[in-house]
């Protein structure tokens, strides 16, 4: 009877470098998107930016998530899976905080007269965009935690959960907002391409998480645009923003 032998660490290095590289690319995308309104705010005093303190807490939490993704993938790349597991519960707690802050921030933006900063779409209608981000992010992270003993599923779910948030940064890249939803959603979907290529190159087929998770992210984009102008959505949006008093 043949014993199951784990692959040598050097055989895992390309995979570990791939996920670390993806995390770094996403971090760079976030830095570019929010540089003028958050990270480099003192250098752009005239750039539109929300004044409510909660958005700076929100930005800090979401930035911490991206940095944590870089740290966690780097730990695995260095073979420090023991430390990776210790940090894991903090990532779960941060994800819960992000969903709360993301939802609350979206409702506050939709409720104020000026709406979402730099967005000309009616705020109650545009509210569907960030709310769907949370609707996607939460279950993807929950599934990733549930699949933490299945590394191939776990790492893909965590990456997809983070990609589901990237549109918020991409839409703030110079010139992208003028391209409309097809533009910023299309650019966001490009972050799925390396994972697809990686799967095809290393597995010869798409991993089920890549396939169904990627399709879920892509399908959600036209769906939120379709429902955002409907009477049921606008009624829900008025009710939800009214909860803030």
Query: What letter does residue 191 receive in the DSSP assignment?
Result: G
Within 10 Å of residue 222's Cβ, how many Cβ atoms?
12
pLDDT at res. 5: 42
pLDDT at res. 3: 41
pLDDT band, residue 9 (cuts 50/70/90): low
Structure tokens at 14: 């390309």
pLDDT at res. 49: 79
Q: Are 195 and 208 in contact (CB under 8 A)?
A: no
pLDDT exceeds 60 at position 4:
no
Strongest mean pLDDT among 39-48, 71-80, 183-192: 183-192
Nearest to 163 by CA among 201, 193, 204, 202: 193
**Tens of pLDDT, residues 104-143:** 999 999 998 888 877 778 999 999 999 999 999 999 999 9
Among 27-31, 133-137, 174-178, 231-235, the minimum mean pLDDT is found in 174-178
Average pLDDT estimate for 49-76: 91
pTM beyond 0.75 = yes
Average pLDDT estimate for 155-167: 96
Burial track 16-49 (b if 16+ CB lie within 10 A, e otherwise): bebbbebbeebbebbeebbbbbbbeeeeeeeeeb
Within 10 Å of residue 93's Cβ, how many Cβ atoms?
10
pLDDT at res. 135: 96
């Amino acid at each position: 009877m043949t014993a199951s032998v784990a692959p040598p660490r050097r055989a895992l290095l390309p995979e570990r470098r791939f996920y670390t590289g993806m995390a770094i690319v996403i971090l760079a995308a976030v830095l570019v998107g929010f540089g003028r309104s958050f990270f480099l705010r003192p250098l752009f005093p005239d750039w539109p930016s929300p004044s409510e303190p909660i958005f700076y807490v929100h930005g800090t939490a979401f930035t911490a998530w991206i940095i944590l993704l870089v740290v966690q993938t780097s730990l695995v790349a260095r073979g420090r899976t023991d430390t990776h597991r210790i940090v894991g519960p903090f990532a779960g707690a941060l994800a819960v905080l992000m969903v709360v802050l993301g939802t609350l921030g979206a409702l506050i933006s939709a409720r104020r007269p000026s709406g979402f900063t730099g967005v000309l779409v009616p705020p109650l209608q545009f509210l569907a965009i960030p709310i769907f981000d949370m609707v996607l992010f939460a279950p993807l992270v929950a599934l990733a935690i549930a699949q933490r003993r299945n590394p191939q599923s776990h790492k893909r779910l965590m990456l997809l959960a983070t990609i589901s948030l990237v549109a918020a940064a991409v839409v703030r890249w110079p010139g992208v907002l003028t391209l409309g939803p097809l533009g910023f959603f299309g650019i966001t979907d490009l972050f799925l391409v390396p994972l697809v290529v990686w799967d095809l190159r290393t597995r010869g087929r798409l991993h089920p998480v890549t396939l169904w998770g990627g399709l879920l992210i892509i399908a959600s984009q036209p769906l939120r645009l379709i429902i955002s102008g409907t009477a049921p959505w606008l009624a829900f949006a008025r009710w939800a923003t009214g909860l803030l008093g």
